[in-house]
Structure 1
Amino acid sequence: MSAPAPTVATQDAPALTGPQRAAALLILLGEDHGAGIWSQFNEAEIRTVCCAMAELGAIPGNAVERVMADFAAELGATGALTGSADRAEELLAKIFPPERVAAVMADVRGASGRQVWRRMAHVAPEAIASFLKEEYAQTVAVVLSRLGSDQGGRVLALLPDRLAGDVVQRMLVMGEVRSEALDRIEETLYRHFFAGGLRKPEADRYEIMADRFNAFDRPTEARFLAALETNDRDAAQRIREKMFTFEDLLKLDPAGCQTLLRTVDKDTLGRALKGASDAARAFFSANMSTRAAKNLQDEMESMGPIRMKDVDDAQSKMVSAAKALAEAGEIRIVKNRADDEVVL
């Protein structure tokens, strides 16, 4: 079942919203007495009430009595009620056709699950890795497949090598995650961090993993690719093909390159090109004015020796900036494969 919402702390009726009050009442009425009410709702209202029901959690009996005074006697016998996505689906299944129930509950369960994943986006990678290193590889794979690319990559890099390698393999072959299993994972994450599925197309799995690898620094990237190549050379190659690297920036058209240059600050550009190939320096210089190119050259010379890590960080910032511009539709980028031109 879906991760439960926090128990309503206050016992005053105003602590519940309108949809939550409606959800509590409909749970109490059940399918027999509530069918007439459900039938009067339009699609949007059904979704609103079901989302409230899925997130309702446990409500103290006296708070329920305050909200639904007309039912105080019956509620006094039960003491409390609990709302959940399963309860919402159970009620709907006895009132509406299966296809309508499935459509509504897909949105409801999705909304409930997204609550957990949205909050997970703000959890430190170190904390997530510390928690996941004691979990089964399949569970870790499910969690990482739903974290953002940068956050998921950083978590993966922090896992023990043996576990991380197993997780990568499982993410590449991951099929449909049963809703019951996903619900348990979401509930576990909720309890651990905050209480205190559909099948991906095969190409998408390698795309997701490539995004995770893009978040690594170069030594970590090389380590994971080498380990993966030992077990599955084809998978390693397919990930390489889908990764977007600093060298891919050289495939930008002049307009795209100039847009990127206007976005990146001079210090980042200088550090990125300080350790870049001659071809990369020539490419970016060709898309700048003569004066700007000369100033950039002077700035790089004045830097003196810099650490390779600083170069990697600067190049990563340029790659991230390019991807953000592409996602906004401002530039067009081409990935590693020459025949795989895409707009991100």
Structure 2
Amino acid sequence: MNILAISDNFIDSSTMEEGLKSLKEHGINVEVRNWYHDSIEELQKDNLIIEQNGPEGIVLSEDLLKDIDKFHMVIVQFAPISKAFIDKAKNLKAIGVLRGGVENIAVDYAKEKNIAVLNTPGRNARSVAEFTMGLILSEVRNIARSHYSLKNNYWRKDFPNSENIPELNEKTVGLVGFGYIGQLVAGYLKAFGCNILAYDPFYKGDFEGVTLTDLDTLLKNSDIVSIHARLTEETHHLISKRELSLMKENSVLINSARSGLVDQQALVKALKENKIGGAAIDVFDKEPIPEDDEILKLDNITITAHMAGSTKDAFSNSPKMMAKNILSLLNGKDNLPIVNGVKLELNF
């Protein structure tokens, strides 16, 4: 069995090699090629193009596609697997994605070609959940604003929420999306003594200390609203002008998920007009943020450079998790995270 693994600036070649070495120990041929970018910023630019236009938005170099028809499986993190890629990889049986999202894969076309697409759910869930707590605390307690002021020789004590700086204890936090990340955040919030609401039409379980409700009820009753949904056509601009108008005047919006889940222009307008108290955002419609973007002029927002899921542990664990899934399949287990419903059989 031949596997092509495409590394990048976040999961470099050595990390990919180390993570997949257990496959080599079982006689599987693994070749690692690098999707080269001069910097992480350049890679993120391509990622944004792919998020907005799909895998057809970026064309891979011929070096990465050399002899592609000899491989039975390809493993990527951010590199796009387009229809053209799939057509060239004539012996491809599976595509492995080293993260939860599969925006960089032509998933439906892969299904047409009877190629299974596996993702790696939860690989950076803890990273994002921990970062979300950092965003919440930084915004409501003015940590970032105070840091910036002190670095500029200003002992600042007056903030947009000076008359309403809260403790988290007994505050209501609404989680929009209640998958693994949302559940981890809920666990952290419980330790802070928060009341927790959650909206997720796909969640059918029962989580102690969390009240499931509809989106409007959540927005109207939450002091903090944190977004953890998956971006789809149905969830695009899930939070827009109408939803923001339902939130409390002193409430705070947190987004460490995807920019498309929130109407950024509507959010900026709501913040400018003080319709909500504040926001903390890690994802943006245009990355890096343009110098003339109004969001940079706001004082009642904490912004970070799309870094919630970027920890060493998250990146290094991803290839190991994928290797474990592949070996499980070879050992006869079939409970794999296949996202397009194609039954995968690797019998090489």
TM range (shorter): under 0.3
TM-score by length of 2: 0.27
TM-score by length of 1: 0.27
**Is the helix fraction higher in 1 or 2?**
1
Bigger RCO (CA 8 Å, 6+ sep): 2
**Is the strand fraction higher in 1 or 2?**
2
Q: Which has the larger radius of gyration?
A: 1
